């Protein structure tokens, strides 16, 4: 009940999302004691499909936004993406930081983008994905963790799963310490 099921592929279809939603509600059809998951995570254009399939189940809908997985887009596009997902019913937005800006030392840009996306979330939670495999050093991971939390993140996450290395135990420890 603390796990998200995710489909973030270019070939996602409404049918695939509905099937994932069914699995989210009943992860093990042979064992009714297995709890449902916390949420299903999809791209913004599939939020309405997931919301419809999960209505009344208690399973939330999360959506990646802000140019997932690169985090490279104009702020206006990131905010429109976020607002569209929330308007369609997402209760959580998963944002990826702009690692190019971060690694260039433009921490203020990253902070301001997180703050703006948090505001665009309204009542929805904001999860900020750091993509730690591209941050290179533990100092950068710690700095990005603090920056995200100070900017309003409800949660921070190691990676998108699209870049290697993704989550590692040492990086997880640095984030937990932050």
pLDDT in tens, 8-62: 998 999 999 999 999 999 999 999 999 999 999 999 999 999 999 999 999 999 9
Rounded Cα gap, residues 156 and 145, in angstroms = 7
Rounded Cα gap, residues 70 and 166, in angstroms = 14
Alpha carbon separation from 80 to 10, 34, 44, 121, 171 (Å, rounded): 20, 37, 10, 11, 31
Rounded Cα gap, residues 77 and 83, in angstroms = 10
Beta strands in the chain (DSSP E): 4-6, 39-42, 60-65, 92-96, 125-129, 155-157
Is the torsion defined by CA of 105, 107, 112, 115 positive or negative? positive
Give the position of tokens 């297995």. 34
* Domains parsed from the chain with CATH numbers: 1-60 (no CATH), 66-178 (3.20.20.70)
93: which strand partners?
Answer: 63, 126
Q: What is the pLDDT of residue 162?
A: 85
Beta strands in 21-170 (DSSP E): 39-42, 60-65, 92-96, 125-129, 155-157
156: which strand partners?
Answer: 128
pTM for this model (two decimals)? 0.92
CA 83 to chain centre: 14
pLDDT in tens, 124-156: 999 999 999 999 999 999 999 999 999 999 999
Alpha carbon separation from 119 to 10, 59, 86, 152 (Å, rounded): 28, 24, 11, 9
């Amino acid at each position: 009940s603390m796990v998200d099921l995710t489909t973030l592929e270019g070939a996602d279809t409404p049918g695939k999302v509905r099937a994932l939603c069914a699995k989210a509600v009943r992860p093990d059809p042979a064992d009714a004691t297995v709890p449902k998951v916390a949420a299903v995570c999809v791209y913004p254009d599939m939020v309405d499909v997931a919301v419809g399939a999960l209505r009344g189940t208690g399973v939330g809908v999360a959506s990646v936004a802000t140019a997932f997985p690169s985090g490279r887009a104009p702020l206006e596009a990131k905010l429109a993406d976020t607002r569209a997902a929330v308007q369609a019913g997402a209760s959580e937005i998963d944002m990826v930081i702009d690692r190019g800006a971060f690694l260039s030392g433009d921490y203020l840009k990253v902070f301001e983008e997180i703050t703006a996306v948090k505001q665009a979330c309204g009542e929805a939670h904001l999860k900020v994905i750091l993509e730690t495999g591209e941050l290179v050093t533990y100092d950068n991971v710690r700095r990005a963790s603090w920056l995200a939390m100070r900017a309003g993140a409800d949660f921070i996450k190691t990676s998108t799963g699209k870049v290697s290395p993704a989550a590692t135990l040492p990086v997880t420890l640095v984030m937990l310490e932050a």
